[in-house]
């Protein structure tokens, strides 16, 4: 990392590097500045928009310093430096957004209290979008509205000035901001309660989907992408296993119904350096599929549970396994995702537990057709309280177009032949509570579930394992089509994995406990008789 250069006269010195936790603390204070004057959904846009604006400005300044040093080493005369430092290609060619002078944080900070801060911010957002086509229509221009407290907004700008996303020797600026952005998405989801589920899926659930599917390369699709968490986790998975340079090995496609959430997703991908196709605008996946010809290698999604009001068209060609009921879109989501799978595509979907056994509105018939069509690879029952935003119990469906030995994408060795079989995993007792209301799946839990699936499927990642797949009573079982038929095509893992072997009961210890409790009970009876006698005596005195 090059040393910081002197700033031109008149520009305030920027703060030194901040860790992700320090920035989180600073910016959560910033959220508090506005929390009292607007609802959670609105201040989420304010704060995340400003975080993004500060980041692109810091990244721009960091690149500018690097460029100044390079030019000095090349012997460029000082009077010509400005010409080169304002060359837009020198920034965009290094995957850095071009930030016009009026949108640079030094200018914004200087004008925050001396002028109309709302107007300054809106103009900065507009200038950045005009200079960077990939951000067109993405950044919020909501700061100059009448209902915005300009004094608090100016204070918020001051607080954000204390956070610097560049110059950190431990982590690149992009990674620091990514952590901050994800932290805020999670906190805002909690603040918004049930509505927060529209844009945020708990990170441990997303990680589980990614660890099972292993999207090393190819096309990744999410038809209800929220704030883009599935894509971010997929990129992190690739970086962890193959290095940062391989992040571009996946192509990202997504769609989101809510305009605000679509904007959050676009910013989230930009922050993480992911080139994604989230369509030119938001839209309803059922009524207006933005990627009609897409055939994806991986589909990962957490669509809204049990939607009762959705754009249902009985003649839709996506309903290959049966027309979903008007009262519930769960099986519409499943069939939409299947319609998007390529020849050896796989999908992981979060759905309400009812989807595993419901018979209402023809859902049972659709499930039978899916099982008979050999589309279901694995079912996972999740533990309770993973989703702070809903109390509805959830499960994971893993779907596969090809369960034959050659059906694993990108694998040179033959996988296990799992045609006509389904893996059932009961993870309801897994996880750990982080507070009174929220549970997370620990790393060991994620590894156990993913490794069980890979061993069952015979994927390359399981080839180094000392043993092959085995049923584990109470946890996992592989069931054939006949067994599933005998259970009425219900896909609830508890029906198949059985119970954990009962531990031998220590009858002597039980007998001792019963004797002790009996003695305590008789002592209480005696004490009760004494109290009754005392009360009677006192009442007698009153009568006298």
Is 92 within 8 Å of 128 (Cβ atoms)?
Answer: no
Helical pair 229-242 and 203-213, crossing angle rounded to 10 deg: 50
pLDDT of residue 504: 36
> Helical H runs in 162-193?
173-192
Rg (CA), the chain: 29
DSSP, collapsed to helix, strand or coil, labels residue 221 as: strand
DSSP, collapsed to helix, strand or coil, labels residue 358 as: coil
pLDDT grade, residue 342 (50/70/90)? Answer: very high
pLDDT > 90: percent of the chain? 49
> What digits encode the pLDDT tens for the residues 519-538?
567 667 766 776 777 777 76
pLDDT of residue 123: 95
Q: Residue 365 burial by CB count (10 A; 0-12/13-18/19+): exposed, middle or buried? A: middle
The mean predicted confidence, pLDDT, of the chain is: 84
Whose CA is closest to 392, among 491, 492, 495, 305? 305
Answer whether residue 94 shows pLDDT above 90: no
Cα–Cα distances (Å) from 402 to 304, 347, 373, 453, in that order, read 27, 12, 11, 15
pLDDT of residue 33: 65
Dig out the tokens for 385 from the structure.
């309280």
Answer whether residue 273 shows pLDDT above 60: yes
Backbone φ and ψ for 211, nearest 5 degrees, come out as -65, -35
Report if pTM > 0.95: no
Task: Identify the residue with better confidence: 169 or 224.
Answer: 224
pLDDT of residue 509: 46
What CA–CA distance (Å, rounded) separates 29 from 443? 30
Answer whether residue 450 shows pLDDT above 90: yes
Dihedral angle, C-alpha 161, 167, 171, 173, nearest 10 °: 50
pLDDT > 70: percent of the chain? 82
pLDDT grade, residue 437 (50/70/90)? Answer: confident
DSSP string, 22-64: HHHHHHHHHHHHHHTTS-HHHHHHHHHHHHHHHHHHHHHHHHH
Lowest-pLDDT choice from 6-10, 218-222, 259-263, 522-526: 6-10
Lowest-pLDDT choice from 124-138, 148-162, 225-239, 521-535: 521-535
Beta strands at 439-440 and 421-426: parallel, antiparallel or unpaired: unpaired
What is the enclosing helix (H) or strand (E) of 349? strand 341-352
pLDDT grade, residue 277 (50/70/90)? Answer: very high
pLDDT of residue 10: 37
DSSP string, 313-331: -TT-TT-TT-PPPTT--HH
Answer whether residue 351 shows pLDDT above 70: yes
pLDDT of residue 1: 32
> What digits encode the pLDDT tens for the residues 170-189?
666 667 777 777 777 777 76
What CA–CA distance (Å, rounded) separates 495 from 314? 33
Answer whether residue 449 shows pLDDT above 50: yes
Task: Identify the residue with better confidence: 83 or 505.
Answer: 83
What CA–CA distance (Å, rounded) separates 335 from 351? 13
pLDDT grade, residue 12 (50/70/90)? Answer: very low
pLDDT of residue 149: 81
pLDDT grade, residue 345 (50/70/90)? Answer: very high
DSSP, collapsed to helix, strand or coil, labels residue 444 as: helix
pLDDT of residue 40: 60
pLDDT of residue 208: 96
Q: Looking up tokens 């090393």, which residue turns up?
A: 216
């Amino acid at each position: 990392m090059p040393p910081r250069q002197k700033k031109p006269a008149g520009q305030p010195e920027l703060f030194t590097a901040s860790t992700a936790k320090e920035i989180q603390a600073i910016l959560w204070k910033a959220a508090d500045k506005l929390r009292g004057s607007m609802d959670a959904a609105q201040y989420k846009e304010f704060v995340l928009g400003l975080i993004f604006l500060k980041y692109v400005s810091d990244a721009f300044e960091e690149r500018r310093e690097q460029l100044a040093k390079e030019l000095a080493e090349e012997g460029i005369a000082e009077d010509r430096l400005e010409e080169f430092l304002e060359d837009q290609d020198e920034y965009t060619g290094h995957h850095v957004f071009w930030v016009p002078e009026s949108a640079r944080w030094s200018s914004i900070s200087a004008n925050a209290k001396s002028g109309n801060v709302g107007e300054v911010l809106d103009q900065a957002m507009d200038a950045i979008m005009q200079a960077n086509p990939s951000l067109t229509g993405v950044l919020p221009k909501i700061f100059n509205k009448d209902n915005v407290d300009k004094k608090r907004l100016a204070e918020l700008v001051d607080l954000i000035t204390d956070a610097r996303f560049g110059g950190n020797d431990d982590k690149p600026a992009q990674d620091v901001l990514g952590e901050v952005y994800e932290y805020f998405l999670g906190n805002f989801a909690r603040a918004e309660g049930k509505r927060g589920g529209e844009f945020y899926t708990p990170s441990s659930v997303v990680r589980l989907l990614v660890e099972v599917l292993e999207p090393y390369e190819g096309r990744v699709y999410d038809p209800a992408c929220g704030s883009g968490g599935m894509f971010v986790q997929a990129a992190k998975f690739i970086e962890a296993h193959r290095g940062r340079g391989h992040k571009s090995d996946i192509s990202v496609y997504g769609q989101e119904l809510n305009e605000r959430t679509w904007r959050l997703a676009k910013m989230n991908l930009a922050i993480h350096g992911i080139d994604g196709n989230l369509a030119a605008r938001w839209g309803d996946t059922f009524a207006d599929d933005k990627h009609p010809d897409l055939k994806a290698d991986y589909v990962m999604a957490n669509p809204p549970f049990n939607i009762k009001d959705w754009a249902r068209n009985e003649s839709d060609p996506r309903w290959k396994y049966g027309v979903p009921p008007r009262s519930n879109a769960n099986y519409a989501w499943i069939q939409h995702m299947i319609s998007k799978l390529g020849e050896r595509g796989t999908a992981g979907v979060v759905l309400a537990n009812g989807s595993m056994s419901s018979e209402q509105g023809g859902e049972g018939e659709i499930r039978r057709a899916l099982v008979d069509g050999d589309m279901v690879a694995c079912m996972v029952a999740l533990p309770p309280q993973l989703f702070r935003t809903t109390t509805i119990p959830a499960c994971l469906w893993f779907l596969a177009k090809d369960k034959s030995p050659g059906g694993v994408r990108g694998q040179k060795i033959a996988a296990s032949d799992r045609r006509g079989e389904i893996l059932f995993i009961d993870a309801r007792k897994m996880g750990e509570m982080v507070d009174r209301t929220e549970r997370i799946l620990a790393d060991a839990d994620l590894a156990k579930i993913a490794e069980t699936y890979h061993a069952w499927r015979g994927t390359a990642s399981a080839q180094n394992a000392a043993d092959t797949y085995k049923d584990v009573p109470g946890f996992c079982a592989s069931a054939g089509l006949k067994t599933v038929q005998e259970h009425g095509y219900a896909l609830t893992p508890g029906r198949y994995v059985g119970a954990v072997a009962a531990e031998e009961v220590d009858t002597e210890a039980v007998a001792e406990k019963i004797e002790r409790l009996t003695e305590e009970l008789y002592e209480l009876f005696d004490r009760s008789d004494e109290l009754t006698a005392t009360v009677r005596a006192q009442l007698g005195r009153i009568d006298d």
